[in-house]
Amino acid sequence: MTKVTAQMSVSLDGHYAGPRHTGEARDWLQSAEAAGFFRVTRWVIDAAAWRERQGFAGGERDVNSDIMAETFEAAGAYVMGRNMADGGEVPWGDEPPFRAPVFVVTHRPRETLVRKGGTSFTYVTDGIASAVEQARAVAGGKNVAVAGGGTLLRQVIQAGLLDELELHIVPTVLGRGMRLLDADLGAGLGLDLAEKEAIELTPTRVIHTPEVTHIRYTVNGRAALVLDDRGSGSGTDAFGTGTP
């Protein structure tokens, strides 16, 4: 069965990049945002499976590389944000690494781009749900992978469209930057959780390496936060004051 999945590398304190770069795009590589991003994705760049997919030589053939290879193999189509698509268009070249249809969520129409190796970029202007459904229709039974960035992934989670989330947690603390699972970013950019609401997940796989810990979760959806009775069995809450 086709699932909607997502992968994200984050620091121990939940950041997927450093503080957002607000200067010229050409200066991004020298920015704090880039420094944080490259730290939490170092394990990816070192993986032989990732390097081969990009057309590069070298890399480590290890557990991390196996996970990258598994991720590529599982995806039958992708959904991504316009900023990521625009930023990668030149670096990815004529044969991008996806080798599958990519559906770009955008407010700006553009004709479909067809690239070598089976990759195409279809620009979807009628919302995230539409992009996911279009991707699902052509995934051939494989997964629909949400390729990012972080803002799009939060919107997919907020909409209840994500079935599986895999976090690659790198043992570093950035302290500041762009946090993935943030509820209060405003303007539709956060998870928009109510004060007594959470998104519940179930861990289904944990793989540890010295560079990164890979945790896969099934996303169960939103649930109310309620005060339990701490095992009293009396129908009162933990402070004996009755059901709140």
Residue 242's pLDDT is: 57
| Interval 198-205 mean pLDDT | 97
Q: What's the confidence (pLDDT) of residue 24?
A: 85
β partners of residue 222 = 199
What is the tens place of the pLDDT at every residue in 92-151? 989 999 999 999 999 999 999 999 999 999 999 999 999 999 999 999 999 999 998 899
Tokens of 118: 């089976």
- What was the pLDDT predicted at 238? 55
Strand bridging mode 213-224 / 178-179: unpaired
Tell me which H or E stretch contains 36.
helix 32-40
Antiparallel, parallel or unpaired: β 120-124 and 15-17: unpaired
In sequence order, what are the residues at sequence separation of 6 or more whose Cβ sits closer than 8 angstroms to the Cβ of residue 114? 120
Tokens found for residue 120: 């195409």
Predicted local confidence at residue 240, as pLDDT? 58
For the entire predicted model, the pTM comes to 0.90
Question: Residue 229's pLDDT band (boundaries 50, 70, 90)?
Answer: confident
**What tokens does 168 get?**
């690659």
Tell whether the model's pLDDT for residue 84 goes beyond 60.
Answer: yes
Which domains, ranges and CATH numbers included, belong to the chain? Answer: 4-224 (3.40.430.10)
- Quickly count helices (H) and strands (E) in the chain: 7, 11
Q: Identify any residues that bridge with 217 across adjacent strands, giving them in sequence order.
A: 165, 203
